[in-house]
Amino acid sequence: MASGTVAEQPPPAKRRDRTHWLYIAVIVAVLAGIAVGFAFPEFAVSLKWLGTAFVGLIKMLIAPVIFCTIVLGIGAIRQAAKVGRIGGLALGYFILMSTIALAIGLVVGNIVNPGGGLELSDELRGEGEALAGTAEESGGTVDFLLGLIPTTLLSALTDGSVLQALLVALLVGFAIQAMGRAGEPLLRGVGHLQKLVFRVLSMIMWVAPIGAFGAIAAVVGETGIDALRSLAVIMLAFYATCAIFVLVFLGAILRFVARISVFKLLKYLGREFLLIVSTSSSETALPRLIAKMEHAGVSQPVAGIVVPTGYSFNLDGTAIYLTMASLFIAEALGDPLSLGEQIGLLAFMIIASKGAAGVTGAGLATLAGGLSAHRPDLLDGVGLIVGIDRFMSEARAVTNFAGNAIATVLVATWTRELDREQLDAVLAGDRPFDEATMLDDDGHGGGSSDDNVPVSEEEQRRLAAAPVR
């Protein structure tokens, strides 16, 4: 080699994606959990803590993910009016879609007419009153609004409330924005924090098979085959209704507005759906949905605002469940609802479904709370659904998740916050999502090259003039 010459370095080897083994392990764990649940039901129920622990690990990162995404997003756009427009448009869309979902559930419930021939055991009669009490403890509108305010600025990141984290992130984002150049170091710090949070999340995902095994085994062990057989009609009708709502109704809107195939979008989110089904919790996929939406070309403000808000207000699957379950209970108890009562129930559930955000076990508890206020005589019938609610909860979670993903793309399209070229490339499989870090080359969840952590013009000039070392 001649003196003074520098040997050319070979390009770095592309890191192999081994995460497909992780999701194969999740599928194997789900099948093993079902087998253990049927073969050793008592032992399977004792494994429930494995699923609970995994969901808890994911939940502890939800607030930091929301905080980092929104703060960086607001700092990037520097226009407060745009954030307000995104939030207002998202809320209007959520209210409309939830109302339509309630109406669809009512129509399908009348067509199928499930619930006949079932008998309510004495041991299940008190379930409805207990669940209604859970819903009432969540309080009304005033308590809900007061619940948005965290005890301290930092407690919003530790108490686990999605809406509290959303509120604090908005306040911090606007405050940093108002600081101008003085706030730029803070934005860079939040950017580094986001890298750390996503790295921790990618580490936690490797224990997903263990959590999936424990969660599925416990569900099968608790429920057994008898409850599934006797209540198969309402379950299948509910599954079919959710599928039609997402694939046909929302799919048509997505095709008309954004010119995107709903099947391509759902395929892109396939691993998140597997995670939801295996853990019976849509919250386990919330951080990944934000990261994947950004990677697909949705701007950080849209992904950071629409996804967390949708998790509280865009409960399409829960809305379908509320009306179908109400008709099912009335029919099973031999007291079918008249047309006038059904319309009154629909109007009432439009309001009640919005209160699900403040209720633990939102679907079943909100159903009990709604019946308690609207038709108290049907409250005992809630016990009929308790046995299969966990399986219906999975369908609710999947539908809610799909609805939020579609809503995020639609809002990004309407507000022109969507990188269409990036989206097409991602859905075509040309730019795969980095499962190892869930971040792009710039250290952000998004796939576009937007400078999410702005650099001042003065600093840009300084960096350009600096000598190359």
Cα distances from 147 to residues 150, 163, 333, 357, 437, in angstroms, run: 7, 9, 37, 11, 33
Q: In which band, very low, low, confident or very high, does the pLDDT at 124 lie, cut at 50, 70 and 90?
A: very low
Burial class for 401, CB neighbours closer than 10 Å (0-12, 13-18, 19+): buried
461 has a pLDDT exceeding 50: no
10 half-sphere exposure, CB direction, 13 A CA radius = 3
DSSP state of 245: I
DSSP state of 338: P
Domains and CATH numbers, the chain: 19-440 (1.10.3860.10)
CB 177 within 8 A of CB 74: yes
69 has a pLDDT exceeding 90: no
Mean pLDDT of the chain: 74
Contacts of 292 (CB under 8 A, 6+ apart): 268, 269, 272, 433, 445
Phi, psi of 298, rounded to the nearest 5 degrees = -75, 135
**What pLDDT, in 10s, does the model give residues 16-43?**
556 667 778 888 888 888 888 888 888 8
**What pLDDT, in 10s, does the model give residues 407-448?**
999 999 998 888 899 999 999 888 888 766 555 544 445 443
Mean pLDDT of 147-166: 75
pTM, two decimals, is 0.71
How many C-beta atoms surround the C-beta of residue 186 within 10 A?
Answer: 16
DSSP labels, 193-239: HHHHHHHHHHHHGGGHHHHHHHHHHHHHHHHHHHHHHHTHHHHHHHH
> Tokens 């494994």, residue?
47
Cα distances from 53 to residues 29, 47, 56, in angstroms, run: 16, 10, 5
How far apart (Å, rounded) are the C-alpha atoms in residues 343 and 366? Answer: 18
Tell me what pLDDT residue 253 has.
94
